[in-house]
Structure 1
């Protein structure tokens, strides 16, 4: 408006036009406009094919080099979390994006399609494909399925039930939740033409309830988790997904800091509000059978409020509640994927790609696709009908290699676009998140490793109607993007969402963080790690300075003594070797945000971090300790010490989840 007026009355019309253009460019590229809040009335409308083509042309390094410089994720008087560029020079010396691989180019011989009219699945045989595979239209094809049922005692699957032969258009009985399908030449049963597997979201009619006036609309909540993915790494390895997550309605919690070492404590905090040690003291011992069945998980509150619930996770051998844990006896959610995945893994051919640590393909499909297909079917079935909650968690491609998510970037984007097309983003709050960043591998040798490990990605999407109905919540979430937050805040946010439809019902907030609250309320700018129940070992708020003085080398040997004492106290010393120092990677001292330190300064007692390697199997550890420079004493909670390289082959003699981190079994000792 002002430019137009200026141009109209100027004697230097062209000079004025150029001046306006320059001012407009400066305005559009200023940091405050780059991070401008989303307009509440903005509605996203993107052509899927155009969007996909645009995504495919991204040069991920160039796009970040052109962004306005960001120095901090969080910058307050008491917490400064530095921003780490994803493509640093030291990382680019060895980082190579991976190429996506398909499992099979075969067309489905049998498709399971959901019939909206009958609310049931029907099986359709591709007879043209069958004739091609049999090289004849005269040769008959027989197809049968074996139903998969859950074996409750071991949170697994029962032996397949007897064969059920089917023909074209067969209606799957409603009680069948999963099946293995085999088609073979009728005259030669050994000639299997194709095998496949399906897990179904069989329709559950809504229970009739007394008529009542609903004062608040209940939003659905869909949670997509990718193991071991930091906010730095999602920018680096999944630029197409990251661009999608920068769209209208999305908020990135850039101050989100993990509270535990691995998946289990971090998901426990989100889903229950407890950490494992506290849970043992106040609820039950999570290593004992039936404990998880009576645990106050968020899905129990959701089911009581009328939500349908679903939980699916890949990599069954390291599932969150099953790896060195008893799992569930009672099925935890309305839809639960684990029994089907176990059966698929056992009964189908599996394949690992050359770079994979875990199974990449089960049968003709990606292991991750089973999880995302299950989530897609769940949301399609109910998203416009009733409130739902689902957690869909994958670790197979991200757990062991920080670079592997680059293999899945386009694949995951396609699912996100499908969810958008299906209306999930119109109805639901969506949480796209991780438990922690990479915990071992070459990336742990970088200076940014400490932040890489402790700052998982966390994106929250609010649908347009929710932002319009609760503008104060959207405003708070916008502010909280650059405030320190933790898993317990997310737990309280889930409780808050649940209570929107039941405002009169009080539900317990996160037990292990009394000062935490919903992310829909502004977080205090003066918040410290202790306020968010983030221990010193995981806290990223205050800087550390690397020490080169010889006296700093006294700390690591003291830490090793504590580890050995820990193994002895837990009666593991007869199985595990005594650890001895090989060398020290680095030792750092915690710095105050408002003062400098020189190595000749003598501080009697303060906090240090030390990373070191032991002689036994070249195991690497990273510890945060309190060290007294006068008494030469170290105070450390051994169970907070991080193992920063793989221990999978070092601790096969133990079935204790924490003990495995520190034990080098005598029988696994390598010379």
Structure 2
């Protein structure tokens, strides 16, 4: 035996001896810490109601999805010629030489960016497809209805109006617009463009005056200075979202952000935050409205239409006097705009969408990475633009309660490793936010909508779990723990409980009414969710949390052979259901199963505690022993089958009734880009039942541009299109 082997064995023996000794001393605090650490590495969650396995970053199935070196790119090597500072636009003519132009030749002007609105009476579904140009403006109708396949093609048809040009003659210019686009040139060639955002006081003047009038406890000096007293009961709420990042991927590719949140800022890390729907919009509908997809349809979206009539919680905050803010960095795939209409009227007091649309049209680029990725807005990273906007809001309303929702998509939406590029700007943002003092009067939620939904990682079991377990952190002011000790204790407990978007919604409602402890007892219960300020039951299940079975990460699964008849029958059943629904879209081809890729069957048994069984986090599929009957329907459910399968064009049924001819070149280019779908069905009485939605886990590019239904776009293969998909 080598010396290294002897030393390793000795070290291992010492560690085992130390751990065993500590574990025998049950009253030892250190033993409890070691036990918790050991269990946390094996399980994301381990409760009587839900067990979720954990996969280490070095697990063979996911290790390759960790960026060894964080992704880096440069938006510009030059310093900006213009910057926003409060309500002023700064001009740096001394930087002209960096743009290969003499300072005395530099000419700059700015144009205000205004929103163009359409009336409710004349609202039509084609509202965003009509546009016109003239010298000074680009007016189009208000709402935004561009599908993913046409958004890039029609970037020049966005709902933005550019006002007349005004020359910049001073180094510091007061701006009265919400947003401006600056253009600099030498009289012939444009050398610089940028878009800047301004928080005009007129938009919040009424709320500020009302808040000042209702404030109490002002000293004479504070009255003279116009300073407002910020009250604990009206803490601001800041919701910052980063698209498509699981908690596991944050640990893997955003480690500095993860450590800063937990170690330095003391953020509450909710380990088992389980999404409730497929993609961004329905998950955020649950967070912001407390509605399921079906309830959303019944409430305000009977058809794909505007969201003006939907019960978004920021309206409740606005009615209570809060200033409201909503901003995103990639408008073409916004929460309420990707394949959807958005809003006819500005939904919040401050709405940066018009300026961001101008930015997307004129200065968006991929930072030299190729493709149309929205990595940069001019010389700044897209995510940094939304971070800076958030910091400006925090500074402008440090003495006035506000509710703000921000969403960043540019870096993280498509490729799992690109989350690493968000690590540095996120750390910088959090440090600035902390240094500003905003955390003393603001409840901050940092979250994602889901994990990465496409790519090779989704072919792994760990990737399936990650896609359903986005990150979710909460930062509360230091006074909260002392003012509301029971609520704080519940928050800490709930970091190790099964939680969902609906719980987040109820928690936002409680913040609005300061319902942290006793006050919450008078608030009416909501249809879904429980406030995180109150302890969630230890035996909570996905059903209790209103998490559909298809997205539930709690169930016990095990592998089955690919030839298993249940797997084949389930896949055929799902495709049959999809084909039946696609009959309403004759431009879409019918589908057949080409391959059944995953082989997992879920146990119908409800999970109980671990009963002392060990766990190897490096096995692809943990094998749990559980003995508990499924509530109320043991005799109905025999198995739940999770299926992935591919569909290739050469197997699509083309019937003569459609008189369609597809040439061989199209078939060849498409055959390797078949759809990968994922479904969960329940087997009962020798038949099957879809438990919820069907997920598309690879990208579909322009394959479905012949239809505009955001739901069926995932499954439609247009008959008359070139099937060379766009990534």
**TM-score if structure 1 supplies the norm length?**
0.82
Give the alignment partner of residue 551 of structure 1, picking from 560, 565, 590: 565
**Partners of 2:101 and 2:173 in 1: how far apart?**
28
The 1:415–1:89 alpha-carbon spacing in structure 2 relative to 1, beyond 3 Å, is same
The aligned residue for residue 147 of structure 1 is: 112
The aligned residue for residue 425 of structure 1 is: 439
After superposition, where does 1:202-351 map in structure 2 within 5 Å? Answer: 202-203=200-201, 204-205=204-205, 206-208=208-210, 210-211=213-214, 217-247=233-263, 248-285=265-302, 287-289=304-306, 292-348=307-363, 350-351=365-366
Q: SS where residue 161 of structure 1 aligns?
A: strand
Residues 491 and 509 in structure 1, CA contact (< 8 A), matched pair in contact too: no
The aligned residue for residue 639 of structure 2 is: 606
**Partners of 2:81 and 2:524 in 1: how far apart?**
50
The 1:624–1:468 alpha-carbon spacing in structure 2 relative to 1, beyond 3 Å, is same
**Partners of 2:344 and 2:35 in 1: how far apart?**
47
**Partners of 2:34 and 2:411 in 1: how far apart?**
32
Residues 274 and 510 in structure 1, CA contact (< 8 A), matched pair in contact too: no
The aligned residue for residue 178 of structure 2 is: 177
Give the alignment partner of residue 454 of structure 2, picking from 420, 426, 440: 440
- Tell me the CA shift for residue 34 of structure 1: 7.2
- Tell me the CA shift for residue 179 of structure 1: 0.4
Residues 247 and 469 in structure 2, CA contact (< 8 A), matched pair in contact too: yes
The aligned residue for residue 84 of structure 2 is: 112
Moved more, 196-205 or 333-342: 196-205
Q: SS where residue 343 of structure 1 aligns?
A: helix
**Partners of 1:321 and 1:35 in 2: how far apart?**
44
- Tell me the CA shift for residue 488 of structure 1: 0.5
**Partners of 2:367 and 2:572 in 1: how far apart?**
40
Residues 544 and 588 in structure 1, CA contact (< 8 A), matched pair in contact too: yes
The aligned residue for residue 153 of structure 2 is: none
Give the alignment partner of residue 646 of structure 1, picking from 694, 699, 702: 699
**Partners of 1:484 and 1:143 in 2: how far apart?**
55
The 1:144–1:357 alpha-carbon spacing in structure 2 relative to 1, beyond 3 Å, is closer
- Tell me the CA shift for residue 507 of structure 1: 6.8
**Partners of 1:109 and 1:126 in 2: how far apart?**
5
- Tell me the CA shift for residue 668 of structure 1: 3.9
The 1:169–1:91 alpha-carbon spacing in structure 2 relative to 1, beyond 3 Å, is same
The aligned residue for residue 623 of structure 1 is: 679
**Partners of 1:309 and 1:613 in 2: how far apart?**
44
The 1:403–1:357 alpha-carbon spacing in structure 2 relative to 1, beyond 3 Å, is farther
Q: Which runs of 5+ in 2 are unaligned?
A: 1-17, 119-141, 144-157, 218-230, 609-624, 628-634, 650-672
Residue by residue over 1:17-67, the C-alpha shift from the partner in whole angstroms, topping out at 9 and shown as x without a partner, is: xx9xx99xx99995744799xxxxxxxxxxxxxxxxxxxxxxxxxxxxx98
The aligned residue for residue 477 of structure 1 is: 491
Residue by residue over 1:397-432, the C-alpha shift from the partner in whole angstroms, topping out at 9 and shown as x without a partner, is: 111111101122112211111111111222211111
Q: SS where residue 578 of structure 2 aligns?
A: helix
**Partners of 1:327 and 1:351 in 2: how far apart?**
25
- Tell me the CA shift for residue 95 of structure 1: 4.2
The aligned residue for residue 10 of structure 1 is: none
**Partners of 1:604 and 1:316 in 2: how far apart?**
44
The 1:662–1:194 alpha-carbon spacing in structure 2 relative to 1, beyond 3 Å, is closer
The aligned residue for residue 524 of structure 1 is: 537
The 1:538–1:505 alpha-carbon spacing in structure 2 relative to 1, beyond 3 Å, is closer
- Tell me the CA shift for residue 627 of structure 1: 1.7
- Tell me the CA shift for residue 191 of structure 1: 3.4
Residues 574 and 690 in structure 2, CA contact (< 8 A), matched pair in contact too: yes
- Tell me the CA shift for residue 670 of structure 1: 4.1
Residues 123 and 168 in structure 1, CA contact (< 8 A), matched pair in contact too: no
- Tell me the CA shift for residue 169 of structure 1: 4.4
Give the alignment partner of residue 379 of structure 2, picking from 354, 359, 364: 364
**Partners of 2:515 and 2:49 in 1: how far apart?**
36
The 1:353–1:442 alpha-carbon spacing in structure 2 relative to 1, beyond 3 Å, is farther
The 1:135–1:662 alpha-carbon spacing in structure 2 relative to 1, beyond 3 Å, is closer
**Partners of 2:49 and 2:210 in 1: how far apart?**
52
Q: SS where residue 190 of structure 1 aligns?
A: coil
Moved more, 273-282 or 428-437: 273-282
The aligned residue for residue 158 of structure 1 is: 160
The aligned residue for residue 188 of structure 2 is: 190
Residue by residue over 1:295-343, the C-alpha shift from the partner in whole angstroms, topping out at 9 and shown as x without a partner, is: 1111101111111111111221111111121110110111111111111
State the aligned residue count: 593
The aligned residue for residue 44 of structure 2 is: 73
The aligned residue for residue 598 of structure 2 is: 586
The aligned residue for residue 16 of structure 1 is: none
The 1:351–1:448 alpha-carbon spacing in structure 2 relative to 1, beyond 3 Å, is closer
The 1:614–1:284 alpha-carbon spacing in structure 2 relative to 1, beyond 3 Å, is closer
Residue by residue over 1:55-114, the C-alpha shift from the partner in whole angstroms, topping out at 9 and shown as x without a partner, is: xxxxxxxxxxx9886222221112111222123123224643442212112122223222
**Partners of 2:261 and 2:251 in 1: how far apart?**
10
Residues 244 and 453 in structure 2, CA contact (< 8 A), matched pair in contact too: yes
Matched, 1:577 2:589: yes
The 1:322–1:413 alpha-carbon spacing in structure 2 relative to 1, beyond 3 Å, is same
Give the alignment partner of residue 92 of structure 1, picking from 60, 63, 69: 63
**Partners of 1:195 and 1:663 in 2: how far apart?**
40
The aligned residue for residue 468 of structure 1 is: 482
Residues 201 and 374 in structure 1, CA contact (< 8 A), matched pair in contact too: no
Residue by residue over 1:223-257, the C-alpha shift from the partner in whole angstroms, topping out at 9 and shown as x without a partner, is: 11011111111000100001011134311111211
The 1:78–1:127 alpha-carbon spacing in structure 2 relative to 1, beyond 3 Å, is closer
Q: SS where residue 326 of structure 1 aligns?
A: coil
Moved more, 362-371 or 323-332: 362-371
Residues 276 and 286 in structure 1, CA contact (< 8 A), matched pair in contact too: no
**TM-score if structure 2 supplies the norm length?**
0.76
Residues 353 and 360 in structure 1, CA contact (< 8 A), matched pair in contact too: no
The 1:506–1:152 alpha-carbon spacing in structure 2 relative to 1, beyond 3 Å, is farther
The 1:319–1:226 alpha-carbon spacing in structure 2 relative to 1, beyond 3 Å, is same
Moved more, 345-354 or 574-583: 345-354
Matched, 1:666 2:713: no
Moved more, 121-130 or 247-256: 121-130
**Partners of 2:161 and 2:599 in 1: how far apart?**
54
Q: SS where residue 392 of structure 1 aligns?
A: strand
The aligned residue for residue 167 of structure 1 is: 169
Give the alignment partner of residue 533 of structure 1, picking from 539, 542, 546: 546
Residues 573 and 688 in structure 2, CA contact (< 8 A), matched pair in contact too: yes
**Partners of 1:282 and 1:506 in 2: how far apart?**
25
The 1:216–1:399 alpha-carbon spacing in structure 2 relative to 1, beyond 3 Å, is closer
The 1:91–1:70 alpha-carbon spacing in structure 2 relative to 1, beyond 3 Å, is closer
Give the alignment partner of residue 502 of structure 2, picking from 455, 471, 488: 488
